[in-house]
Amino acid sequence: MVQPILGLVLILSLTMFSYPLLVHNWRECASAPGCTCTLTLDIKKSMAPTLKTYIVESAGFFLKSHASYQDFLNLVEMTDLNGADYSKMRSYLYNAVDYMENAYTIYTNLKLASEKIPYDPVMLDRLLKFDYAGFQAKSGLLAPVFEKVKSLLAKGDIAGFDDEVLNNMDTILNQLYEVRDLVDKEQSPDIALLWQLTQSYFETQLFGQYASAVFKANIY
C-alpha cells in the first residue's frame, strides 16, 4: 500500500538532493497542477508542519554524518604524511555517530507518523505498472541498488522501503561504532572496514535517490 505524500517525502529524506525547497515542492504535490495525490486540504494542513520538520532534520543529520566521516577519511589518508591525529579522528567519528543516531531516531518518528496518512490508489497503480527495467536502462542506474528499490516499489511496499532505510542506517551505525572503538584505543581501523562503511553510506544514499527518481517519473 502506498501512502502518497508521505511515501514521497520518506524516500526523499535520505538523498543528497533533500534540501528544504525541493522537499517542500514535493510535499505540496497534492495541490500542484497535474499531480494525482488525493490528500484533502485539511489532512495536508494537519500533517505538514511535523512531517516537514522530520524530513529536513533527518536528511540534514544524515548528510552531516556523511560529511564528518569524510573528514575522518581525509585524516586517515594524510596519516603517512602527517602522522595519526587520534584526537581529531575521534572528534569527527563522534560527530558522525551522533548525527547518524539523530537521523535514525527522526526517521523512525517519520515512519510512525506515516500510519495516519491515507493511501493513494492512483500512485499505487502507477508503481505497479511502471517500466522499471526501461527506466533503469535509460537513466543508467546501478543494477544492485536499483533492484532493491524495484523489489519494494513494484509491489507498493512503502513500509518495507522504510524498514530498509532504517536497516541501512543501523548498518552504518554499527560500522561507525566499530571504527570509533578502534580509534578510541588509538588503533588504526583496517582499510577493508573503512571501505565497507564508505560503501554503506553511498548505497544508502543511492537507494533513496533511485526511489525518489521513480516517484518523480510517476508524477505528472
Angstrom distances, CA of residue 69 to CA of 6, 77, 94, 175: 29, 12, 9, 11
At 44, is the pLDDT very low, low, confident or very high (cuts 50, 70, 90)? low
Looking at residue 12, what is its pLDDT? 43
In degrees, to the nearest 5, what angle opens at C-alpha 187 toward C-alphas 79 and 91? 70
At 13, is the pLDDT very low, low, confident or very high (cuts 50, 70, 90)? very low
Q: Which three cell numbers stand for residue 85?
A: 591525529
Q: What is the pLDDT of residues 73-94, one digit of tens each?
A: 999 999 888 888 999 999 999 9
Chain centre distance of CA 142: 17
Tell me the range of 4-18, 47-61, 163-177 where mean pLDDT is highest: 163-177
pTM: 0.79
Tell me the CA end-to-end span of the chain in Å, nearest whole number.
20
Task: List alpha helices for 29-85, DSSP H.
Answer: 41-77, 79-82
In degrees, to the nearest 5, what angle opens at C-alpha 63 toward C-alphas 62 and 69? 95
